[in-house]
Chains A and B, each alone.
Chain A
């Protein structure tokens, strides 16, 4: 009985030793040479594997960073400039300053602004809904509110406000990875520079319908009147297909367009509340109180 156990132990140990020797030489022979810097860079990256950089994950991005001659347009939106500086220092490459971005929803068709015209009873998916028809409101460009963007966000930064029926971005949590931009079948999410002190001005509408139609279905739609284009002293606003677009690179945040917009489709966020200077001015403009709540 005991001899069986001894034979077993001896034979298995000798087999194990034999295989370990063979495997050692095989491993030496077929060793994959990998740049040790990839490991270092990967350890510096946030490790969210969100794909915001456009690569398959953090390791793939680290590999790309090591191989690239210069950092150039490679950028980790989650880590931001702080991480990219560390990576640049570790690799001995020149850091590129990039403006931090944030996702903005270019639609403010809440239930109050944009009443429902029909009831969608199917599976709650924006993609499925967009494939079937134009949507449950009169506007065929706006937010469908079924939360495809919420499902893909790895950072819990985007939510549906059920009461108002609109999607909102939590700008503290948003890292501008762009997952929501890809998920939205209506293409209403844009990554825009955060702006100085998080202040930014943008058109919160995606409707390319003619003014009369757009206004009929949603009270805060861009009607393509072009008043903002004329008001802008910096030529930052362009009007295309009945929809204004503010170029963030040219915008100096003067907010003249915000005052001018007849439907309040242009949003200025994180600005201090503007108080009317003096009652003497009889321009009849109401104080702009824009809140991103």
Chain B
């Protein structure tokens, strides 16, 4: 029997339409808008000025705190502005605008396709290299990788878990890199194991990607410490806590980090970025993006330079399809709607999904019939219908905290399974944010 997590989960339609499309190189844009907030934590501070000449791979933003990261130029050209601009949600973020001239790279970057297997670096050197390359978690949250690879001294990591589940419908970027660049991912994993000083590594891949499982197993065959584990397909298996449970059997306690049970989880995309950063000196300046949707005539996987405007990507697929009603950055379950087409791609963007009116239109809400489908679907063991009730009364933050609203991973299983079309996730998300604020203030007072 194949492994999976024990509580909840749903089976949305896969729609992996772009799974057979090879990764194509997306043309370099004329103007790149590079955001300074491409990672979780405090945004980077621009270190270039208007008029500066930059090369691809050059540092243009430096970190401003512990949880922060470097930002590099993805193109070569002249900086035309350092200004505040709307991100994909329309909120102002500092951007460095670069007018592209040619494609000149920094000298130290090895752009050859040769696979370098020897890792002559120590754990500290690896962390330093990853930090300087601005690598962030490419599973979606964009947490700086060097922070995650450097757990607190009193905690001992036991497993490195590489997340190749790609449980969201539509997205195929991880699937493609596992099929096309498995050796690099495996070497990236070995590098991360060395940085973490762990002996065991699991690569979890859902069984709807048989080709990826085959290619990854082959690539990992010469590293006995790495084990590729096929998993039963179920959403949200790519959730950190769900994946740890599926692979190790341990459940991460409420409000704790995975390191509590000795696990560190990284995405396959991150493993690839780590390989490039350590072995090829190449900073993270491009991302693999799936452009798909039922209304899109040709489903594509692109390797795109960071800072390419979304509008440019739409042009590449022949303009916005007529019946497209919503653009989502990420998967249909947890992705964010793109409110601003002038926004540009970030390191951790994995997909641009176009949905039609029929697919996105919310159905009219009716009364809760207490069928408990949401409770059955919740992978965190919460009771969404109850959280909904408590949230709507207003002010019942103690009760919400008792019901562990802060454990919600916002996967959307409750909303997906509700036959009454109650916007459970929308409501829970608001009260979760408020409860977390209250809890944070309380711990600050102590």
Q: Which residues of B contact A123 (CB under 8 A)?
A: 423, 426-427
| Residue contact B89 to A133, C-beta cutoff 8 Å | yes
Chain A nearest CB from B89 CB (Å) reads 4
B336 at the interface (CB under 8 A from A): yes
Given contacts A121-B360, A121-B361, A121-B362, contact A134 B426 (CB under 8 A): no
- A134: nearest chain-B partner, CB-CB: B90
Q: What are 23 A-B pairs with beta-carbon distances under 8 A? A: A121-B361, A121-B362, A122-B362, A122-B423, A122-B426, A123-B423, A123-B426, A125-B426, A127-B430, A127-B433, A128-B430, A131-B430, A132-B336, A132-B337, A133-B89, A133-B91, A133-B337, A133-B339, A135-B90, A140-B86, A140-B90, A140-B92, A151-B394
Give me the interface of B with A, judged by CB distance under 8 Å: 86, 89-92, 336-337, 339-340, 360-362, 394, 423, 426-427, 429-430, 433
Q: How far, in whole Å, are A125 and B392 apart by their CA atoms in the complex? A: 11
Query: Interface residues, chain A, CB within 8 Å of chain B?
Result: 117-118, 121-123, 125, 127-128, 131-135, 140, 151
Q: Please, how many angstroms separate the alpha-carbon atoms of A151 and B392 in the complex?
A: 11
CB distance from A190 to the nearest CB of B (A): 22
Minimal Cβ-Cβ distance residue in B for A127: B430
Give complex CA distance A174, B360 in Å.
39
Q: A121-B362, A140-B90 are contacts. A131–B429 as well, Cβ < 8 Å? A: yes
Query: Which residue of A has the minimal Cβ distance to B86?
Result: A134
- A132 engages B89 (CB within 8 Å): yes
> Could you tell me the distance in whole angstroms from the C-beta of B381 to the nearest C-beta in chain A?
23
Residues of A within 8 A of B90 (CB): 133-135, 140
- Return B406 CB to nearest CB of chain A, in Å: 15
**Beta-carbon contact of A134 and B429 below 8 Å:** no
- Expressed in whole angstroms, the minimum distance between the Cβ of A136 and any Cβ of chain B is 8
Write out the residue numbers on chain B whose beta carbons fall within 8 Å of the beta carbon of A151.
394
CA distance A96 to B89 in the complex (A): 47
> Which chain A residues border B86 with CB–CB below 8 Å?
134, 140
Contact assessment for A125 and B430 in the assembled complex, using a CB-CB cutoff below 8 Å? yes
Cα–Cα distance between A122 and B412 once the two chains are bound (Å): 13
A-B contact sample (5 more), CB < 8 A, given A122-B423, A131-B429: A122-B426, A125-B427, A132-B336, A133-B91, A140-B91
Please report the C-alpha to C-alpha distance between residue A122 and residue B426 in the assembled complex, in whole angstroms.
7
Q: A7 vs B423: C-alpha distance in the bound complex, in angstroms?
A: 62
A118 to B340, CA, bound (A): 9
Nearest chain A CB to B337 CB, angstrom units: 7
